[in-house]
């Protein structure tokens, strides 16, 4: 990319410069074209082998893709930002993200490290008491912001790749660094898994910055309490008609959607454990004197186990179909994301905790962290487990300026070099 500052990945402070660059150019799920190009270019400049494009994805499992028009706009934006045309062509259609592959100097295990790339869809606060504003790296896109720390995760992955590459003679086995697109909304994990990116992986390490854990130096070696979740878009088809002349010929999609909403919230809870349901939007629009022919709902279910989430998902789809039928309409559902609820492998988390004790700067180690949300890493953890491997998600403590997914979110950047050092030590020791 010609229009961006040079970053020397071999310098330890490059991780902060990279984080700020990614923060400045946030891209949401499946449109991480500029971000992926930057990652691929920096890896390629060091001669690190990298896979990207359709080869690392499974089209039927790319949940929640943007519309073709949104995709074209994102590609154009990346082109304007100076991204390489051939790279962009290879990714067009949402095939974002990439996998760096480092073969060590000795035979051994296959370890995967997963980082994510996407931003959230909200506008960043322009208050000038905030570091991103003061230092001039706040989001350049209204309505889009790295408000979860994935800008930091991408930077950690890059700097880690550079360090591991330099020390590849010391590595036993293969290291794959997975730069995952579309984590928010649980859209990207299944696609990478089904394309075989995790095949043969014996150890999987994921990590997240903060999630409320503070300060820098406190690290959780494992995670539990992930909620399984399904994201569903619903389109209710009715029939438009003149509301005065012949309302009986209409089929009111808005009424069906409204009935669905109140009954979704009334789904009987299960005694098996915690469950959630939320309807985030209901869109139906017609003239005042027109029977609304179409309505859209977006909702999500969650559960403390896969079974509980499945119970909520099945009940939700039944309610939607029945509410549509009640008004003579039909409902079409699209699964936009799905994540499981598996926690860290206890033996691996214990081993990670032991190794972290040697890492300078790590002064408090928690055996496990209660996540209380959903994370796409679980889809990858389940695959690695199903093939006999082990997986854990680490949490690197860091003070945050405001909660995750809020407009004033920011985190203590000194967590970045510490996370690189920790993951580096883990790869070399495991
Ligand atoms: Zn996140």
What value does the mean pLDDT take over residues 9-20? Answer: 90
Report CA(240)–ligand 1 centroid distance (Å): 41
Report CA(409)–ligand 1 centroid distance (Å): 12
Same-domain status, 118 and 178? yes
> Residue 4 has what pLDDT?
63
Report CA(118)–ligand 1 centroid distance (Å): 9
What value does the mean pLDDT take over residues 155-173? Answer: 96
pLDDT, tens digit, 9 for 90 and up, residues 201-211: 999 999 999 99
Check pLDDT > 90 for residue 57. yes
Name the domain boundary from 309, 339, 369.
Answer: 339
Burial of 401 (0-12, 13-18, 19+ CB in 10 A): middle
Q: How many domains does the chain have?
A: 2
> Residue 373 has what pLDDT?
77
* 7 domain residue, yes or no: no
* 250 domain residue, yes or no: yes
Check pLDDT > 60 for residue 2. no
Name the domain boundary from 283, 318, 339.
Answer: 339
CATH number for the domain that contains residue 355: 3.40.630.10
Same-domain status, 59 and 91? yes
Report CA(217)–ligand 1 centroid distance (Å): 19
* 156 domain residue, yes or no: yes
Report CA(329)–ligand 1 centroid distance (Å): 37
What value does the mean pLDDT take over residues 177-187? Answer: 91
Report CA(376)–ligand 1 centroid distance (Å): 9
Same-domain status, 413 and 292? no
Check pLDDT > 90 for residue 340. no
Check pLDDT > 70 for residue 144. yes
Report CA(188)–ligand 1 centroid distance (Å): 13
Other CB atoms within 10 Å distance of the CB of residue 312: 24
Q: What percent of the chain has pLDDT over 70?
A: 99
Report CA(244)–ligand 1 centroid distance (Å): 50
Using pLDDT thresholds of 50, 70 and 90, give the confidence band for residue 371.
confident
At 38, phi and psi to the nearest 5?
A: -60, -45
pLDDT, tens digit, 9 for 90 and up, residues 279-289: 999 999 999 99
* 93 domain residue, yes or no: yes
Other CB atoms within 10 Å distance of the CB of residue 340: 25
Q: When comparing pLDDT for 304 and 260, which is higher? A: 260
What value does the mean pLDDT take over residues 148-154? Answer: 98
The mean predicted confidence, pLDDT, of the chain is: 95
> Residue 6 has what pLDDT?
75
Among 14, 9, 19, residue whose Cα is nearest residue 119: 19
Among 372, 302, 356, 295, residue whose Cα is nearest residue 327: 295
Same-domain status, 52 and 171? yes
Same-domain status, 350 and 317? no
Report CA(330)–ligand 1 centroid distance (Å): 35
Check pLDDT > 60 for residue 235. yes
Report CA(168)–ligand 1 centroid distance (Å): 29
* 101 domain residue, yes or no: yes
* 152 domain residue, yes or no: yes
Among 96, 89, 150, 227, residue whose Cα is nearest residue 405: 150
Same-domain status, 164 and 232? no
CATH number for the domain that contains residue 249: 3.30.70.360
Name the domain boundary from 304, 339, 374.
Answer: 339
Same-domain status, 190 and 324? no
Q: What percent of the chain has pLDDT over 90?
A: 90
Integer CA distances (angstroms), 320 to 99, 237, 267, 281, in order = 39, 12, 11, 14
Report CA(66)–ligand 1 centroid distance (Å): 19
Same-domain status, 242 and 209? no
* 1 domain residue, yes or no: no
Q: When comparing pLDDT for 271 and 185, which is higher? A: 271
Check pLDDT > 60 for residue 365. yes
Report CA(150)–ligand 1 centroid distance (Å): 6
Same-domain status, 48 and 126? yes
Integer CA distances (angstroms), 114 to 84, 154, 180, 204, in order = 25, 9, 7, 8
What value does the mean pLDDT take over residues 217-236? Answer: 93
* 8 domain residue, yes or no: no
> Residue 225 has what pLDDT?
83
What value does the mean pLDDT take over residues 162-190? Answer: 94
Contact call for residues 299 and 278 (beta carbons, < 8 A) = yes
Burial of 136 (0-12, 13-18, 19+ CB in 10 A): exposed
Same-domain status, 322 and 368? no
Report CA(401)–ligand 1 centroid distance (Å): 15
Same-domain status, 159 and 76? yes
* Predicted model pTM: 0.86
Report CA(183)–ligand 1 centroid distance (Å): 7
Check pLDDT > 80 for residue 43. yes
Same-domain status, 77 and 157? yes
Report CA(29)–ligand 1 centroid distance (Å): 12
Query: In terms of residue numbers, what domain contains 297?
Result: 228-339
Report CA(151)–ligand 1 centroid distance (Å): 10
As given in the structure block, the two tokens for residue 1 are 């990319």
Check pLDDT > 70 for residue 98. yes
Q: What is the rounded distance in angstroms from the CA atom of residue 118 to the CA atom of residue 121?
A: 10
């Amino acid at each position: 990319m010609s229009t961006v500052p040079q970053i020397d990945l071999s310098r330890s402070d490059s991780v902060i410069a990279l984080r700020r660059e990614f923060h400045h150019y946030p891209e949401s799920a499946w449109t991480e074209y500029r971000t992926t190009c930057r990652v691929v270019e920096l890896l390629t400049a060091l001669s690190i082998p990298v896979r990207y494009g359709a080869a690392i994805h499974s089209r039927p499992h790319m949940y929640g893709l943007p519309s073709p028009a949104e995709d074209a706009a994102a590609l154009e934006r990346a082109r304007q930002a100076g991204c390489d045309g051939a790279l962009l062509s290879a990714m067009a259609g949402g095939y974002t993200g990439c996998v760096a592959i480092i073969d060590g100097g000795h035979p051994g295990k296959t370890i995967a490290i997963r980082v994510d790339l996407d931003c959230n869809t909200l506008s960043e606060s322009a208050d000038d008491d905030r570091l991103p504003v003061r230092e001039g790296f706040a989001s350049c896109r209204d309505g889009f912001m790295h408000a979860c720390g994935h800008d930091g995760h991408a930077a950690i992955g890059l700097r880690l790749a550079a360090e591991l590459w330099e020390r590849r003679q010391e590595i036993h086995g293969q290291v794959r660094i997975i730069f995952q697109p579309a984590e928010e909304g649980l859209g990207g994990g299944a696609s990478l898994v089904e394309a075989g990116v995790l095949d043969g992986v014996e150890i999987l390490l994921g990590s997240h910055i903060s999630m409320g854990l503070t300060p820098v130096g406190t690290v959780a070696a494992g995670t539990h309490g992930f909620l399984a979740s399904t994201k569903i878009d619903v389109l209710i088809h009715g029939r438009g008609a003149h509301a005065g002349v012949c309302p009986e010929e209409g089929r009111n999609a808005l009424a069906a959607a409204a009935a669905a909403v109140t009954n979704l919230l009334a789904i009987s809870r299960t005694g098996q454990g915690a469950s959630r349901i939320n309807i985030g939007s209901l869109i139906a629009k017609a003239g005042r004197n027109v029977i609304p022919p179409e309505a859209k709902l977006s909702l999500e279910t969650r559960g403390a186990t896969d079974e509980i989430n499945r119970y909520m998902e099945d009940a939700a789809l039944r309610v939607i179909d029945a509410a549509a039928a009640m008004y003579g309409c039909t409902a079409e559902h699209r699964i936009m994301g799905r994540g499981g609820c598996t926690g860290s492998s206890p033996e691996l988390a214990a081993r990670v905790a032991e190794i972290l004790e040697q890492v300078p700067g790590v002064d408090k180690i928690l055996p496990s962290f209660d996540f209380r949300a959903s994370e796409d890493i679980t889809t990858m953890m389940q695959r690695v487990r199903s093939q006999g491997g082990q997986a854990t998600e680490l949490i690197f403590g860091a003070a945050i300026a405001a909660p995750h997914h809020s407009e004033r979110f920011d985190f203590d950047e000194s967590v970045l070099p510490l996370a690189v050092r920790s993951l580096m030590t883990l790869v070399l020791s495991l």
